[in-house]
Structure 1
Amino acid sequence: MTTRDIQPFEIDVPQSDVDDLRRRLADTRWPDELSGVGWTYGIPTSYVRELAEYWATTFDWKAHEARLNGYPQFLADIDGLQIHFFHVVSPDPDAVPLMLIHGWPFEDFTEVIEPLTNPKAHGADSAQAFHLVLPTLPGFGFSGPTVRVGDTDTFRSAEVLAKLMEELGYERYGAQGGDAGSFIAPQLGRIAPDRVLGVHLNGPLTIPSWDEDGSGFSEEDKAKLAALADWNNAETSSYASIHSTRPASLSPGLTDSPSGLLAWVVDVVNSYVDPAASSPDDAMDRDSLLVQISILWFTRTIGSSMRLYKESSAWGADLASSGVPTGVAVFARDASIRAIAERQNNIVRWTEFDHGGHFAPMETPAELVTEIREFFAGVLRAQWNRT
């Protein structure tokens, strides 16, 4: 695929950058550590040191780079923004086009690519095939850092991604997202309800307005609302407060120190993985975790990725429903409030799991694949019945 605005892309991190990463990790000045406090003071230094040593001595970036380059990648110029994306076409010509949208700090979709694009090879009905478009959001990874105020806003991202799907020639398509993607995917439906046939979300961020009193909520939703009301005072909100107020202050340290980047990102990840997991790499593959952190490191985009929190205007906004059929998967760590989700979306499917976390494509890919397949099969059946 080559047009004036879309060019093929291949990841090629210079070996000198890999060597520099390893040197910096080896030269880390480690702080002291209290014993017996676990994660109550933040991420344990001993755990960060273990991950850093593995990253420096065992993790093979070039092998993972080659694996990622096995999927077709492109760079698009959309409204002056560079957008990196994977475009994996199913062998089934009748497959449904589907955009998968990540959040912060990342979501690795590689475990769901093959089952979604080639279901027959994975024991599923070939009618459940998808053509996949996996964009990297503005300010993240190989899309590169943003240079204008507001370019990481989720509303802005939705506009850009809608234009990307037009550029790719997809007249009708689905959208799926979690975290920030759970704002962007529904917004695609508001922008282009005639094009978006369905929206699927995992753990949507249902942020209540400041005066939300929970009237008419179920008891379960009231409990979640109370927990969210306490969120601003909870340890899990501390990172978001800094990102939304002082991303530029945090950026130099995380851009200069891979151990600092590792500690910050993995501590946030730990707050949102499966509650039954003892550590982040107990919830997801360690190498997959380090691939995503490596991308932030090599592209120097940790600072611009954090601007998402300061620039996005969707947080707590009163969002109208697009009317587009929407399915939701809520995993054990998610705190999605159904009553709020139903105000903002046309919910036709809601599934709750007693396990899993916020990073479903990395933690519970099989369950997510099943949910996506079944949701879009239902959407297509409903359309056929109407016609």
Structure 2
Amino acid sequence: MIRLPIDTDYLADRLARLLAIPSPSGYTDMIVRDCCQELRRFGLEYELTRRGAIRVRLKGEHEHPGRALISHLDTLGAQVKLLKDNGRLELVPIGNWSSRFAEGARCTVFSEAGFYRGTILPLKASGHTFNDEIDTQPVDWRHVEVRVDALARTASDLEHLGVAVGDTVAIDPAPEFMENGFVVSRHLDDKAGVAVMFAALKAMVEEKVTPPVDVLWLFSISEEVGIGGSSVLPHDVSSLVSIDNGTTAPGQNSEEFGVTICMADQTGPFDYHLTRKLARLCRDNDIRYQKDIFRYYRSDSAAALEAGADVRTALITFGVDGSHGYERIHMHALRSLAELATAYAMSEVEIPRDAEEMGTLKGFTTQPMTEADQKLTAESDPTD
């Protein structure tokens, strides 16, 4: 076994800290600062992109072929679309989530003049006024509004407060950590993945281990709007493993326990060799796992490939019930993911050819086919 022991108390504390820092896409400066301070506490050096994506390199015995793990710091949220005549705010969502889950949420409006607390309400919020109409009104973002907790009865009042179109609205996570290991909160996607990576990093630093090759630990800031992994990946990385949420729902094979390895998402299959290596690492290290396919899902890996990165990609996840809503996970999955992250970081290189960006057939991979095809492959493989 090559997995390392994981400090689950630290993992939970780190997750709670991350959840306490608002970070909808486009408003991530403060959570970036917090993560950099934690990395400094570990004694690790880091680099920041212009906008704040974080890159940490754990030096290995060899530089190439480098490997990377990535999670994202940004969450769902909203922006002010309109200052309404009734002194309330019309919203547009940041990321893809339903207004059904926004109704009743407490939130913070970040304006240039300061911040204001508020509540997201349906347009017809009072049963004493609208009777059964509160249950028949449509569910979409045009039928909710923010009631700002300040004296605001008109659009002019809102302007006087300094609230403006485009202001960011952060949704309260309302986290609960249960004694039985369940965690319920908004924004577990993907702050739980970030906490997993920090717990794995902590284990590697404390054990003073040196991986076989350089391992990069990446934290993106715009995954929820589709571009997270597009600009933080260096050219010397040959494989990229995303750590994000799985979907525990009817018709899915994900679970809230163990690791769920995603074999494909809406952008297509993940790398054949890398996903099977991760499954084998789970078996060899006694880590519970299952496989799944997500039809309406994309991750940092997709953004990296679309940006032109020639890397093998994989996605390992913690099963989430109610994703992009009131989410629920279990600490067993987070610990399992952190164990797999350390096992992957410490695993031997199986495809040495990946150290080169371009090459010949020598050392190129094969996949199972018919007996005749395998014979043809062996005959055509050059020996020098």
Structure with the larger strand share: 2
TM-score, length-scaled by structure 1: 0.30
- Larger % of helix: which? 1
Relative contact order: is structure 1 or structure 2 higher (C-alpha 8 Å, sep ≥ 6)?
A: 2
